[in-house]
Amino acid sequence: MSTTQVVEGIDGTLTARHGTPPLNVVYEWLTTVDHKKIGLMYIGYALIFLLIAGVEAMLMRIQLAIPNNHFVSPLVFNQLFTMHGTTMVFFVGMPILFGFGNYLVPLMIGARDMAFPRLNAFSFWVSAFAGFLLYFSYVGASGLYAAGAAPDVGWFAYAPLTAKVFSPGHSTDYWTLAVFLSGIGSIGTALNIVTTILCMRCRGMKMSRMPLLVWLYLVMSSLVFVTVSPLTAAQIMLTLDRYLGSHFFDTQAGGSAVLWMHFFWIFGHPEVYVLVLPAFAFVNEIVPVFSRKAIFGYPAMVAASVGIGFISLSVWAHHMFTVGLGAAANTFFVFATMVISVPTGIKIFNWLATIWGGKVIFATPMMFCVGFLFQFLVAGLTGVMLAAAPFDWQLGNSYFVVAHFHYVLVGAILFALFAAFYYWYPKITGRMMSETLGKWHFWLFIIGFHLTFDFMHVPGLLGMPRRIYTYEANRGWGGWNLIVSIGAVVQAIGLLIFVYNLVQSYFRGKEAGHDPWDAWTLEWSTPSPPPDYNFAVLPTVNSRRPLWDLKHPEDPDSDYE
Amino acid sequence: MSLFPRRQMTGCSKVRLASVRAFWVLVCCVVLCRCTATAESPTSIFAPAATPAHSIFDLSMLVLSITLAIFLIVAGLLLYALIRYRHRPEDAHHEPAQVYGSNQIELSWTVIPILIVVMLFLTTARVIIGTQAIPKPSNAMNVTVIGHQFWWEYRYPKLGIVTANELHIPVSNVANSMPTYLNMSSADVVHSFWVPRLAGKTDVIPNRVNTMWIDPEQPGLYVGQCAQYCGMQHAKMLIRVYAQSPADFAAWISQQKQPGRQDFAGNPAAAEGHAVFMHNACINCHAISGTVATGRFGPDLTHLASRDTIGSGAIQNTPENLRKWVDDPNSLKPGCLMPAMHLNDHDLDAITAYLTQLR
């Protein structure tokens, strides 16, 4: 049974599109090399893992809500925090951000697809397989205490805890291989994004006319090359230690635990910038449109983004202030870490200056961006606190750090992602998401977020370390942990409303048209959803905001650049 | 043509958003003040009791003030901009002035943060050097700390004492300066030694020796716990530091230097327990000075009964708990590396009677 749709091209011509039987649709998606479909598969995959990792977080919060709780055993709790962290970084964060990049970058530079469409598909399927491999450990691994055990070594898997003698069985190997494969997928997609941006921009789009989202994805992808490689090397060395008798990290035979830390954090720190730069990208596109003003200080924003990318490679040992590297090393890393706050601060000031003098419209995408701005400010400031190494000697590895990085990952990155969903959903599906449900989502989620992550700083200040399955009643941590756990429930409700909104809007949302937000970048010139070929005619641009020029022929940006 | 969302946020709702935010900031401040002022928690970093913790506290107050000031200014400006420049229905038909940048403004908000960073960095560097790069005084007391899964071993090399679970050190003040230097390594995986009221944490790493020092001013019990995930029972690898007056500390030393009690006149159960202990696998992992038990895998038990807790702080040291522990340690601390000893009730009673005599 097939259906026929009529689609309007940018020049007004009508084309008939014939629908396809369900099995053909499945085959089409499984074999597609189209950047839009691959982007959507990345995003859908990440959303599923977001829900799974969210359940893992809920179980941990129930266990920690009161002291000396027995909701889950120590083994299960240790698996939960390992799986939650690994899933969120590698199977939610990376895929969802690569997914948006895949979808948006070619559209925003006026290209028809990515530079290497088949590599694109390969990278997705390798990353997807890696996620399933990690979760297969629940069924297939033979860990310390039972057949079928997920890894329980923590998402950063410090040596020598990961050595065969301390982690027998295969649970650790599932972690190692899944992360290794995910890294291969990441490198492939990063390669694609960099090449596409450098080689496939439309006519007139010099680098200095690219949308800031494109700049940020360029920096993020370049960073991925440099940062994933050490982790891949470390995974190989760990596997050699575990199976072929090498001693890189095997301290019993003279190997070095600190070596693993260096390798991991040379990956791990830039990785968090890999995750946050796309969040900046979304905010850079959304805030100007809803402030009705061009972004303030485009050249400075580019310089700050590139600067952040470079400096982020030099700060990794601020995760190792307590390792005893010595006063000289500690002092250097304090300096580098504090320096990175300068370009980061510049970005916040530029966003503030974009809003200043504008006409701010508080649609749901903008509300999430406002949340991002306040929360990223706080997260950056707690980062400055942690950069002061002696302060970190107290706060490191405590719940203060957990609160800080969740403030970045949830308060900044997830909020920016929600904004991106609400903003680009009309382009992707042709329908608007419900504003009412969006407001419910926003308020529930932000209240829950603050209940959880504001108050989570306090147990850290009161001496509560992380990764503990329970705690003594006499430490004074119980009340705070209870509030934190309650906030998690509120966030979960908000998240479920969001998922419902995504689904119901697809069937019942208002028709969106080409350009529901009156925006200025090239993707808003295509139909919603865009046809497979993106653009009927490849565009030529004369400024950073080609659609502004079209809509305001009396005052085009090209006069000012 | 533009399509504004049907229900825009009115000015009233925006003020509501702003006041909700302000409310939360106020709540957090009040709550933080409350908890730091009263400092009920025995592990609060805002209740320093030794020089390293004090210097960190002083630095932290500076850092907190600066970051709070930055937050209030920037968040205040943001809040103001969002309210002042909100879209009003009457100006739906023209765009605001498009301002692309301003060199002077951008330069100022680059230079000022750089100056703040330089100042913070120099202050921080001074504290780092003052803690980590000062020479060790000649009168320092040296203790070797060895981290194990999931307990702490303490050795006093110059005094010939080996103990576990409780770290006894002398107080140190201006009149009588006697800081304790901890030389730390691990027997297995990475741990971290953290007693917040005394000092920041220092990682305890196999195949590496790290050093830190503490000098508590007041006698008392200072608690903490392992702060680097080290396996199943990381959560119960607790730390108990007993700071004692010079007299009390000297008394503790002389008691610890005694070999394990062998004379159980009038206590046949204990005497029998001694024999049971020495004929069982206990001696492979545990040491009791002056006996054939010389195992080093588990804690030294020579003066077990002088300790307040067992299982590295996990449970109170009472005869009932001790008996349960020896019978099946994993029932009290699942994942600890001591296996169930599979002793019959009679032997368990005897061993408990013996161990409770090891003061």
Q: What is the DSSP string of A197-243?
A: HHH-PPBT--GGGS-HHHHHHHHHHHHHHHHHHHHHHHHHHHHHHHH
Contact A385 B60 (CB under 8 A): yes
The CA distance from B351 to the nearest CA of chain A, in Å, is 29
Residues in chain B closer than 8 A to A360 (CB atoms): 81-82, 85-87
The CA distance from A159 to the nearest CA of chain B, in Å, is 7
Q: CB-based contact (8 Å) between B330 and chain A? A: no
Output the pLDDT for position B23.
58
Q: CB-based contact (8 Å) between A361 and chain B? A: yes
Contact B81 A381 (CB under 8 A): no
Q: How confident is the model at residue B26 (pLDDT cuts 50, 70, 90)?
A: low
Contact A355 B2 (CB under 8 A): no
Q: Amino acid identity, residue B358?
A: L
User: What part of A 185-244 touches B (C-beta under 8 Å)?
Assistant: none
Q: CB-based contact (8 Å) between A450 and chain B? A: yes
Chain B interface test: which of A81, A322, A331 (most B C-beta within 10 Å): A322
Residue of B nearest to A325 (CA): B210
Q: CB-based contact (8 Å) between A558 and chain B? A: no
pLDDT tens for each residue of B259-314: 999 888 889 999 999 999 999 999 999 999 999 999 999 999 999 999 999 999 99
The CA distance from B275 to the nearest CA of chain A, in Å, is 34
Residues whose CB is less than 8 angstroms from the CB of residue B126 and which lie 6 or more positions away in sequence, other chains included? none
Output the pLDDT for position B176.
85
Q: CB-based contact (8 Å) between B317 and chain A? A: no
Q: CB-based contact (8 Å) between B51 and chain A? A: no
Output the pLDDT for position A141.
67
CA distance A365 to A105: 19
Q: What is the dihedral of CA A351, A352, A355, A356, to 10 degrees?
A: -140
How many A/B residue pairs have CB atoms within 8 Å?
A: 313
Q: CB-based contact (8 Å) between B47 and chain A? A: no
Q: Which two tokens stand for residue A113?
A: 């697809």
The CA distance from A555 to the nearest CA of chain B, in Å, is 10
- Rounded-to-5 percentages of helix, strand, coil across chain B: 40, 20, 40
pLDDT (tens, 9 = 90+) of chain A, 561 residues, equals 456 677 776 677 787 767 678 888 999 999 999 999 999 999 999 999 999 999 999 999 999 999 999 999 999 999 999 999 999 999 999 999 999 999 999 999 999 999 999 999 999 999 999 999 999 998 876 655 555 689 999 999 999 999 999 998 899 999 999 999 999 999 999 999 999 999 999 999 999 999 999 999 999 999 999 999 999 999 999 999 999 999 999 999 999 999 999 999 999 999 999 999 999 999 999 999 999 999 999 999 999 999 999 999 999 999 999 999 999 999 999 999 999 999 999 999 999 999 999 999 999 999 999 999 999 999 999 999 999 999 999 999 999 999 999 999 999 999 999 999 999 999 999 999 999 999 999 999 999 999 999 999 999 999 999 999 999 999 999 999 999 999 999 999 999 999 999 999 999 999 999 999 999 999 999 999 999 999 999 999 999 999 999 999 998 998 887
Q: What is the dihedral of CA A483, A487, A489, A490, to 10 degrees?
A: 140
pLDDT tens for each residue of B115-148: 999 999 999 999 999 888 888 888 899 999 999 9
Chain B interface test: which of A381, A386, A449 (most B C-beta within 10 Å): A381
Residues in chain A closer than 8 A to B334 (CB atoms): 73-75
Q: Give the SS3 label for residue B146.
A: strand
- Given a contact cutoff of 8 angstroms between Cβ atoms, the answer to whether B309 and B317 are in contact is yes
Residues whose CB is less than 8 angstroms from the CB of residue A110 and which lie 6 or more positions away in sequence, other chains included? A201, A202, A203, A205, A522, A535, A538, A539, A541
Contact A463 B44 (CB under 8 A): yes
Residues in chain B closer than 8 A to A487 (CB atoms): none
Output the pLDDT for position A462.
97
* Long-range CB contacts for residues A311-316, cutoff 8 Å, separation at least 24: A311/A336, A311/A339, A311/A340, A311/A343, A312/A223, A312/A269, A312/A270, A312/A273, A312/A340, A313/A223, A313/A226, A313/A227, A313/A266, A313/A270, A315/A269, A315/A340, A316/A262, A316/A265, A316/A266, A316/A268, A316/A269, A316/A270
Residues in chain B closer than 8 A to A293 (CB atoms): 95-99
CA distance A361 to B6: 11
pLDDT tens for each residue of B333-357: 999 999 998 899 999 999 999 999 9
Residue of B nearest to A375 (CA): B75
Domains and CATH numbers, chain B: 11-87+102-132 (1.10.287.90), 142-245 (2.60.40.420), 268-355 (2.60.40.420)
ipTM above 0.90? yes
User: What part of B 66-105 touches A (C-beta under 8 Å)?
Assistant: 67, 70-71, 74-75, 77-78, 81-82, 85-88, 91, 95-102, 105
DSSP letter at A475 equals G
Contact A324 B205 (CB under 8 A): yes
Mean pLDDT over the full length of chain B: 90
Q: Which two tokens stand for residue B253?
A: 């030393």
Q: CB-based contact (8 Å) between A259 and chain B? A: no
Contact B211 A324 (CB under 8 A): yes
Q: What b-and-e string marks burial along A86-119, b requiring 16 or more CB atoms within 10 Å of the CB?
A: bbbbbbbbbbbbbbbbbbbbbbbbbbbbbbbbeb
CA distance A450 to A494: 13
Contact B4 A373 (CB under 8 A): no
Q: CB-based contact (8 Å) between A339 and chain B? A: yes
Q: CB-based contact (8 Å) between A393 and chain B? A: yes
Q: CB-based contact (8 Å) between B250 and chain A? A: no
pLDDT tens for each residue of B145-199: 999 999 999 999 999 999 999 999 999 988 889 999 999 999 999 999 999 999 9
Output the pLDDT for position B21.
64
User: What part of A 454-473 touches B (C-beta under 8 Å)?
Assistant: 454-455, 458, 461-472
Q: Which two tokens stand for residue B182?
A: 């901890």
Contact B63 A391 (CB under 8 A): yes
Residue of B nearest to A475 (CA): B41
Mean pLDDT (whole number) for B42-49: 96
Output the pLDDT for position B37.
41
Contact A254 B207 (CB under 8 A): yes
Could you state, in order of their start, the residue ranges of all structural domains in chain A? 4-559
Strand partners, B86: A360
Phi, psi of A509 (to 5 degrees): -70, 155
Output the pLDDT for position A532.
93
Strand partners, B193: B202, B226
Strand partners, B183: B144, B211
Output the pLDDT for position A252.
93
The CA distance from A133 to the nearest CA of chain B, in Å, is 23
* Long-range CB contacts for residues A140-149, cutoff 8 Å, separation at least 24: A140/A170, A140/A174, A141/A169, A141/A170, A141/A171, A141/A173, A141/A174, A142/A169, A142/A170, A142/A171, A143/A167, A143/A168, A143/A169, A143/A170, A143/A171, A144/A75, A144/A168, A144/A169, A144/A171, A144/B232, A145/A75, A149/A75, A149/A79
Chain B interface test: which of A260, A334, A394 (most B C-beta within 10 Å): A394
Q: Give the SS3 label for residue B151.
A: strand
Contact A160 B188 (CB under 8 A): yes
Output the pLDDT for position B1.
35
Q: A4-559 in CATH: which number?
A: 1.20.210.10
CA distance A475 to B235: 13
- Helix A399-406, helix A364-387: angle, nearest 10: 150
pLDDT tens for each residue of B3-23: 333 344 444 455 556 555 655
Phi, psi of A465 (to 5 degrees): -75, 170
Strand partners, B202: B193
- Given a contact cutoff of 8 angstroms between Cβ atoms, the answer to whether B197 and B214 are in contact is no
Contact A377 B87 (CB under 8 A): no
Residue B43 is nearest to which of A291, A342, A475, comparing CB atoms? Answer: A475
Residues in chain B closer than 8 A to A435 (CB atoms): 5-7
Helices (H), A396-477: 399-406, 415-429, 435-455, 457-461
Residue A454 is nearest to which of B28, B128, B224, comparing CB atoms? Answer: B28
Residue A391 is nearest to which of B56, B203, B335, comparing CB atoms? Answer: B56
Q: Is residue B171 classed exposed, middle or buried when 0-12, 13-18 and 19+ CB atoms within 10 A define those classes?
A: buried
Output the pLDDT for position A561.
77
